[in-house]
């Protein structure tokens, strides 16, 4: 074997045949030795300990063949092959360089050895240490400057080591990515080198759990670099085509980005996954040391939260670093505020912050480390203990130590820093070279002075090596240090100066850095192997989300090949699959970026140009279908992106590419799965699964250029475009929206309402404007009907959008309010078609309807038919579902629209008759609105008299309800209406006379009487007379309400007396008109009925009236109206016939008053004398009859 090694090492000077034979033998030897390595565990591992491996063969070597020691020797030889050099002569001079041919041969053999041994190498400590230290150190060193072929082999070797041994090479992997792959891919001298580095990164990303493990081990470790984030951003950067042309590097990097994103999407959206998603954000509730790690095997759930917490701590540390560099005191205060350090502060937290936070001002760190305060002395101690100096030479250790901060200039601060270093370095030395830490301290000072002497240009006479050695005599406890050791230190400092004022870190893997890495790997926990977790997947993508969206947009813009476009669309959907788990902003950004590729948002494109583009360019078609597919499958996560989707949809509508058949608004919407309260349950069952993703991708096969090339006529173009639009399934975006979150629904509604109001749109013709507004309101109707189960949750925001629309500077209510009213009435009907526990929904919908007709009152006439039909249906079929006073007020106010138009009058009357005939749904809270609405129907001209008389009869009979409420002490069906609801939606007058008022029933009765009183002035004599009779009937039914004298007198004053006075005034008004005798006599007939009513009601209530203190005044009021009617004069139309009935009415009244002892001579009362005088004035003929001497 030794002979073979010599042949291989001297391959450059050996013959080809001998060289090939030696290499073939080496292959066979490695096959024989390393293939057997897994068996050693079971057979001859008894002697395999670290001490046993130092000398001699290991247990059973002769009996069982080759042992571990043989494998160690071979592997050591293979590593040495990486250092074989060849002499290259150029321009007469010879230079030494690595022999690439031997390196490649060595890497092939090393790969074979690792693949044959697998993870069994991890069970053999010395063999494992060779890979951890020698092999990977060589690979990182040569990987930074080797050729593309050697770099490719190095990447393959490290990938094999990751696959089998990643648990043992945590920090080595981080160094390989940071110092080799990322560095070359970013700053590579040639494109081929960059391509190899990118390909190496991609090969790692192809491993099933690589990106997850890298993120958890490095990006979530505040003491490590962000490997995953750097790799992701690097791939995004190389995916950009800056000059407009895609190169192989662009395509390669984009494919790598796709691999990462598909991997995350498949695992975050894995079918059958039951892992909890948890909150989208995580907080730091209390201080936790950010440098402490947790074992995944202890508690998986706790480990996931721990990893996410450390990632958050890492972000906050970077924020703290930014504050620290601007103002160090504010930076340290932020550490306390962010709970990154304890209160009181922990020196170790400060130390780790100074040591591992990148970008800190090193000069400020040095000042803190040299501070004499006891607290900062402890910080210095903890800071120094983060370094591991085992195996380091003093100057190497000191260089590495001083790279982490700027050595302060004050001598006392320098002393404190060097004392801490000396103590740590001395503790880590395994040899007896130094007698004490003081020796180290003295030598450190000497090295710093030497550095100044050798590299300061102001020092003219430089120190020699002998002087340096002489200056350091007897510093080791009175003894000299070895001359060779001091000589090496002198040469090292003379050749390479200390960077005492260095503010940046070198990009090279220096020996001191590598030794520190190896020492740290021994002290820190190993690489954590883990599978994907949905919560971490979301966090992973969040850190590269912005660059990824920008990369996709740029790549799609510059890609021309159909296959690349399809790959881009697949990646687009994978991004959407990830974004549905709490990354709504990224999804909105993605939609906004890709909407521009549809060409639908180009305001300057004509119909013909857009049609041609859709028919002959694959990219706009794919972008359009992709956008609407995302809207279909990921509507639950879209917020701001709805505006762009709606704009594209409206452009399709204007281009006549969206026929009515594409969107069936009358189709049934999906059944809601949320509870009646509208609160979304925290489940992810509605999320997009990988199986649905596969099904969705198949639709894009129909968009291939071959399938779109048949036919070039305009007709065929239109058919192809319609076929494409049908693929979008636009209707289901809105009809299947019952489960989307409230925020997404609000954003969709806002976009549609603002679009309907014309915000951001210009219409060429009024017809186009009307069609667009109607289309938008159809969509609003569809989503409202789909979400009617949680109407009270989302509609208040919709109403706010309507209020905002009304404030637009250029807002025109036409045709917006008309289309809005029609849409809102459809929603209103759906709301009332089923009982609802929540009473706010009807208030919300009627507030919006009221707002619309107040913006343009003409719409009440324009939409009178649909308004009448809708309201009539509610009152006839769903009156039990109207539950609030405001709801009843709105319904009955809208019903009044029916009285304005002959074609709807009959419909409105029937609804009102049905409401009063049943009487079940009339309550104290809506009674006033009912009678107000009924009065409106009496004002309509040319309307059926029999219907009006029916309404009057029903109004009179409704007094039974008032009596019942009075008798039952407010226990009617309307008593369940809350006082708050009534107060918030009623006028001030109604509030003062609300259901809680003691006289509320009486007030309602008075209001009813006022309706009869006003109706008695109708132009139709039959209606007037019937109103008087109905008033009399209602009075007779209200006996229980009028038992109090004050109620009775108040009713007479407000209703009876007022009716008589108004009829008398109206009669005289007619008598003064030309050719109005018929009207005058007709009004006279009504007044006769009113006077007879007055007489009858007075006598009926005589007992209650006489109990009132104001009876005398009331009685004079009766006599005054008798006198007025008795002396009525029609002028040109002759005398009035009222004088014929007044005497009889007076005779009946006075006779009954005398019989009951109410009117008789009394000394203390002048009623008799006053009545006598009034009768003598009104009707002298009755004086002697009624008042005999």
Tens of pLDDT, residue by residue over 825-846, are 999 999 999 998 888 999 999 9
Task: Report the percentage of the chain scoring pLDDT > 70.
Answer: 86
State the pLDDT confidence band at 994, using cuts at 50, 70 and 90.
low
Residues 34-46: tens digit of each pLDDT: 888 877 753 444 3
Enumerate long-range contacts of 676-685, CB under 8 Å, 24 or more apart: 676/789, 676/790, 676/836, 676/837, 676/838, 677/790, 677/793, 677/838, 678/742, 678/789, 678/790, 678/791, 678/792, 678/793, 678/794, 679/790, 679/793, 680/739, 680/741, 680/742, 684/277, 684/581
State the pLDDT confidence band at 712, using cuts at 50, 70 and 90.
very low
Q: Is residue 866's pLDDT more than 90?
A: yes
Residues 738-781: tens digit of each pLDDT: 889 999 999 999 999 999 998 877 777 888 889 899 999 999 99
Q: Is residue 491's pLDDT more than 70?
A: yes
Query: Residues 1035, 962: contact at Cβ < 8 Å?
Result: no
Of the residues 6, 46, 301, 410, only one is catalytic, namely 410
> Per the structure block, which two tokens stand in for 25?
């033998």
β-bridge mates for residue 96, sequence order: 87
Q: Is residue 47's pLDDT more than 50?
A: no
Rounded to 10 degrees, what is the CA torsion of 94, 99, 101, 103? -170
> Phi and psi (nearest 5°) for 93?
-120, 150
Rounded Cα distance, 158 and 160, in Å: 5
How many angstroms from the chain centroid is the CA of residue 88?
A: 64
Rounded Cα distance, 190 and 646, in Å: 47
Rounded Cα distance, 33 and 61, in Å: 12
Rounded Cα distance, 363 and 366, in Å: 5
Residue carrying the six token digits 């883990």:
530
> Per the structure block, which two tokens stand in for 492?
């090292």
Mean pLDDT, the chain, whole residue set: 84
* pLDDT given for residue 893 in this prediction: 94
* pLDDT given for residue 731 in this prediction: 86
State the pLDDT confidence band at 1086, using cuts at 50, 70 and 90.
very high
* pLDDT given for residue 693 in this prediction: 58
Query: Other CB atoms closer than 10 Å to residue 822's CB: what's the count?
Result: 20
> Per the structure block, which two tokens stand in for 725?
């639009």
Which of helix, strand or coil describes residue 98?
strand
Residue 658 or 427, more confident:
427
What's the average model confidence in pLDDT over 52-72? 55
Predicted TM-score (pTM) of the model is 0.81
Rounded Cα distance, 1020 and 1014, in Å: 13
Residues 907-966: tens digit of each pLDDT: 999 999 999 998 899 999 999 999 999 998 888 877 788 999 999 999 999 999 999 988
- For residue 1088, give Cα distances in angstroms to 472, 1059, 1118: 138, 12, 14
Q: Is residue 787's pLDDT more than 70?
A: yes
State the pLDDT confidence band at 549, using cuts at 50, 70 and 90.
very high
Q: Is the backbone peptide bond immediately before 839 cis, with ω within 30 degrees of 0?
A: no
Q: Is residue 633's pLDDT more than 70?
A: yes
* pLDDT given for residue 612 in this prediction: 78
What's the average model confidence in pLDDT over 109-119? 90
What's the average model confidence in pLDDT over 610-626? 84
- 570 catalytic? Reply is no
> Per the structure block, which two tokens stand in for 395?
């100057």
* pLDDT given for residue 109 in this prediction: 92
Q: Is residue 158's pLDDT more than 90?
A: yes
Rounded Cα distance, 693 and 572, in Å: 11
Helices 545-558 and 227-239 meet at what angle, rounded to 10?
A: 20
């Amino acid at each position: 074997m030794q002979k073979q090694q010599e042949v291989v090492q001297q391959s450059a000077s050996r013959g080809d045949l001998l060289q090939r034979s030696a290499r073939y033998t080496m292959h066979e030897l490695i096959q024989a030795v390393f293939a057997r390595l897994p068996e050693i565990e079971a057979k001859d591992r008894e002697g395999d300990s670290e001490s046993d491996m130092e000398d001699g063969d290991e247990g059973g070597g002769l009996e069982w063949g080759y042992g571990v020691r043989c494998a160690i020797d071979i592997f050591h030889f293979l590593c040495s092959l990486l250092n074989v050099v060849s002499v290259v002569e150029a321009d007469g001079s010879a230079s030494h360089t690595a022999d690439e041919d031997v390196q490649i041969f060595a890497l092939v053999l090393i790969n074979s050895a690792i693949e044959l041994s697998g993870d069994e190498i991890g069970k053999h400590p010395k063999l494992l240490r060779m890979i951890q230290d020698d092999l990977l150190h060589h690979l990182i060193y040569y990987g930074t400057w080797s050729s593309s072929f050697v770099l490719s082999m190095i990447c393959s070797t490290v990938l094999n080591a990751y696959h089998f041994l990643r648990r043992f090479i945590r920090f080595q992997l981080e160094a390989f990515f940071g110092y080799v792959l990322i560095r070359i891919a970013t700053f590579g001298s040639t494109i081929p080198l960059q391509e190899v580095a990118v390909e190496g990164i991609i090969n790692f990303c192809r491993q099933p759990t690589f990106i997850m493990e890298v993120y958890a081990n490095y990006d979530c470790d505040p003491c490590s670099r962000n490997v995953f984030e750097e790799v992701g951003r690097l791939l995004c950067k190389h995916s950009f085509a800056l000059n407009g042309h895609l190169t192989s590097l662009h395509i390669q990097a984009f494919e790598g980005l796709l691999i990462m994103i598909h991997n995350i999407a498949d695992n975050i959206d894995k079918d059958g996954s039951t892992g909890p998603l948890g909150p989208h954000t995580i907080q730091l509730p209390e201080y936790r040391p950010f440098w402490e790690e947790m074992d995944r095997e202890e508690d998986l759930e706790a480990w996931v939260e721990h990893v996410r917490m450390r990632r958050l701590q890492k972000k906050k540390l970077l924020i703290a670093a930014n504050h620290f560099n601007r103002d160090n005191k504010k930076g340290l205060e932020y550490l306390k505020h962010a709970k990154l350090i304890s209160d009181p502060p922990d020196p170790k937290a400060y130390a780790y912050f100074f040591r591992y936070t990148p970008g800190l001002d090193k000069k400020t760190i040095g000042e803190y480390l040299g501070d004499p305060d006891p607290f900062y002395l402890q910080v210095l101690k903890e800071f120094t203990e983060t370094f591991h100096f085992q195996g380091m030479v003093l100057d190497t250790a000191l260089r590495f130590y001083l790279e982490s901060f700027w050595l302060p200039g004050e001598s006392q601060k320098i002393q404190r820093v060097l004392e801490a270093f000396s103590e740590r370095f001395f503790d880590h030395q395994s040899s007896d070279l130094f007698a004490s830490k003081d020796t180290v301290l003295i030598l450190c000072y000497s090295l710093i002075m030497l550095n100044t002497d050798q590299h300061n240009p102001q020092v003219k006479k430089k120190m020699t090596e002998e002087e340096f050695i002489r200056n350091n005599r007897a510093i080791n406890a009175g003894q000299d240090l070895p001359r060779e050791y001091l000589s090496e230190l002198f040469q090292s400092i003379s050749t390479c100066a200390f960077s005492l004022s260095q503010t940046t870190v070198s990009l090279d893997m220096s020996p001191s850095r590598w030794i520190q890495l190896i020492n740290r790997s021994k002290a820190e926990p190993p690489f954590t192997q883990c599978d994907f977790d949905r919560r971490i997947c979301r966090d992973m993508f969040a850190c590269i989300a912005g660059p990824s969206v920008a990369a996709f947009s740029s790549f799609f813009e510059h890609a021309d090949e159909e296959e690349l476009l399809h790959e881009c669309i697949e990646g687009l959907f994978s991004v959407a699959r990830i974004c549905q788990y709490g990354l709504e902003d990224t999804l909105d950004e993605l939609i906004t970026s890709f909407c521009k590729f549809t060409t639908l948002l180009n305001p300057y494109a004509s119909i013909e140009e857009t049609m041609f583009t859709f028919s002959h360019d694959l990219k706009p078609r794919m972008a359009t279908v992709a956008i609407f597919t995302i809207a279909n499958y990921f509507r639950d996560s879209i917020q701001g992106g709805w505006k762009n989707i709606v704009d594209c949809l409206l452009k399709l509508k204007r281009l006549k590419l969206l026929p009515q058949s594409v969107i069936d608004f009358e189709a049934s919407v999906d059944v809601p799965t949320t509870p009646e309260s509208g609160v979304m349950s925290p489940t992810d069952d509605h999320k997009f699964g990988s199986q649905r993703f596969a099904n969705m991708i198949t639709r894009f096969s129909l968009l291939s250029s071959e399938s779109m090339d048949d036919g070039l006529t305009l007709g065929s173009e239109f058919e192809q475009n319609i076929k494409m639009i049908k693929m979008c399934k636009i209707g289901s975006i809105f009809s299947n929206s019952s489960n989307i979150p409230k925020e997404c629904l609000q954003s969709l509604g806002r976009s549609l309402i603002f679009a309907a109001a014309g915000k951001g749109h210009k219409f060429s013709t009024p017809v186009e404007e009307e069609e667009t507004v109607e289309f938008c309101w159809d969509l609003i109707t569809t989503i409202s009907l789909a979400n009617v189960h949680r109407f009270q949750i989302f509609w208040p925001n919709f109403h706010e959008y309507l209020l905002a629309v009304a404030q637009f500077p250029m807002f025109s209510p036409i045709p917006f309010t008309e289309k809005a009213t029609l849409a809102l009435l459809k929603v209103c009907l759906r709301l009332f078609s089923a009982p609802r526990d929540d009473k706010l929904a009807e208030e919300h919908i009627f507030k919006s309807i009221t707002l619309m007709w107040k913006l343009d009152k003409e719409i009440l006439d324009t939409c009178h038919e649909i308004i009448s039909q809708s309201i009539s249906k509610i009152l006839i079929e769903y009156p039990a579902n109207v539950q609030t006073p405001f709801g009843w007020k709105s319904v009955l106010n809208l019903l009044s629209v029916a009285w304005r138009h002959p074609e709807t009058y009959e419909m409105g009357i029937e609804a009102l008759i049905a409401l009063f005939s049943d009487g079940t749904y009339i309550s104290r809270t809506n009674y006033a609105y009912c009678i107000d609405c009924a009065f409106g129907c009496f004002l309509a001209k040319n309307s059926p008299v029999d219907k009006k008389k029916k309404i009057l009869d029903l109004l009179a009979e409704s007094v039974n309800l008032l009596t019942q409420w009075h008798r039952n002490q407010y226990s009617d069906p309307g008593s369940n209406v809350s006082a708050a609801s009534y107060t918030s939606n009623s006028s001030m007058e109604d509030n003062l006379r609300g259901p809680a008022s003691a006289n509320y029933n009486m007030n309602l009765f008075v209001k009813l009487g006022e309706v009869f009183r006003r109706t008695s002035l109708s132009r139709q004599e039959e209606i007037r007379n019937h109103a008087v009779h109905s008033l009399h009937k209602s009075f007779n039914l209200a006996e229980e309400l009028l038992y109090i004298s004050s109620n009775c007198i108040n009713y007479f004053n407000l209703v009876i007396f007022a009716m008589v006075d108004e009829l008398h005034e109206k009669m005289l008004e007619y008598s003064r008109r030309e050719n109005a005798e018929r009207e005058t006599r007709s009004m006279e007939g009504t007044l006769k009925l009113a006077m007879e009513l007055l007489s009858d009601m007075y006598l009926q209530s005589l007992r209650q009236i006489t109990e009132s203190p104001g009876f005398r005044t009331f009685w004079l009021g009766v006599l005054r109206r008798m006198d007025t009617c008795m002396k009525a004069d029609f002028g040109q139309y002759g005398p009035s016939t009222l004088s014929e009935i007044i005497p009889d009415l007076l005779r009946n009244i006075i006779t009954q008053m005398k019989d009951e002892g109410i009117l008789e001579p009394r000394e203390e009362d002048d009623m008799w004398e006053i009545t006598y005088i009034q009768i003598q004035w009104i009707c002298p003929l009755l004086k002697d009859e009624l008042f005999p001497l």
